Amino acid sequence: MLTNKGKYGLKALLHLANHEGKGSVSISDIADCNNIPKKFLDAILLELKNAGLLYSKKGKGGGYWLAKPSDKIMLSSVIRVLDGPLAPIACASRTAYRPCADCQNVAACEIRALMQEVRDAMAKVLDGTSLADLRSRSAAAEAILLYDI
């Protein structure tokens, strides 16, 4: 499940993608435009910066901007930075595998097998979707909404 931290991180990055090439964006602007608590956003943006997804500048005219082009930032990497592995349970994870304490036979566990399928399906979508793709979806949805009005 995507946590608020992961959702807010994606919203903040999408906001920055919409300002790509236009310089830095202040934390206050990102927080206000996306209804994200500023203090929580500070911590999220710092994690994304430490992961190499953002650059920042302090002081007047400072803020954040993307460290890579938006078409090179995959949603899976953002979610993994903020929320950890994509697998819904630890025994189905490729990167953070932990056996379940109550499992007697990991190889024959039907629940683990199903959760591995879930993980693989999520990874396929998220590994194949960039921030630029998400931006395009957002623009297309806005166009449809305006057309329907």
Band of pLDDT at residue 80, cut at 50, 70 and 90: very high
Q: What pLDDT score was predicted for residue 103?
A: 84
Answer with the residue of higher pLDDT: 140 or 59: 59
Domain annotation covers residue 31: yes
For residue 2, CA distances in Å to 5, 28, 32, 133, 144 come to 8, 24, 22, 19, 26
Tell which residue, 62, 63, 71, 88, has the closest CA to residue 12: 63
Q: What pLDDT score was predicted for residue 124?
A: 96
Band of pLDDT at residue 145, cut at 50, 70 and 90: low
Does position 71 have pLDDT exceeding 80, yes or no?
yes
Interatomic CA distance for residues 86 and 94, integer angstroms: 9
pLDDT more than 70, % of the chain: 92
- φ/ψ of residue 55, rounded to 5: -115, 155
Domain annotation covers residue 108: no
Domain extent, residue 62, equals 1-73
Domain annotation covers residue 137: no
Does position 7 have pLDDT exceeding 60, yes or no?
yes
Band of pLDDT at residue 24, cut at 50, 70 and 90: very high
Domain annotation covers residue 21: yes
List, for residues 28-63, the tens digit of each pLDDT value: 999 999 999 999 999 999 999 999 999 999 988 889
Domain annotation covers residue 1: yes
pLDDT more than 90, % of the chain: 72
**What would the mean pLDDT of 1-14 be, rounded to a whole number?**
95
Band of pLDDT at residue 106, cut at 50, 70 and 90: confident
Interatomic CA distance for residues 20 and 26, integer angstroms: 13
Domain annotation covers residue 53: yes
Tell which residue, 85, 95, 9, 3, has the closest CA to residue 53: 9
CATH code for the domain in which residue 21 is found? 1.10.10.10
Domain annotation covers residue 59: yes
Domain annotation covers residue 14: yes
User: How many independent structural domains does the chain possess?
Assistant: 1
| Mean pLDDT value across the chain | 91
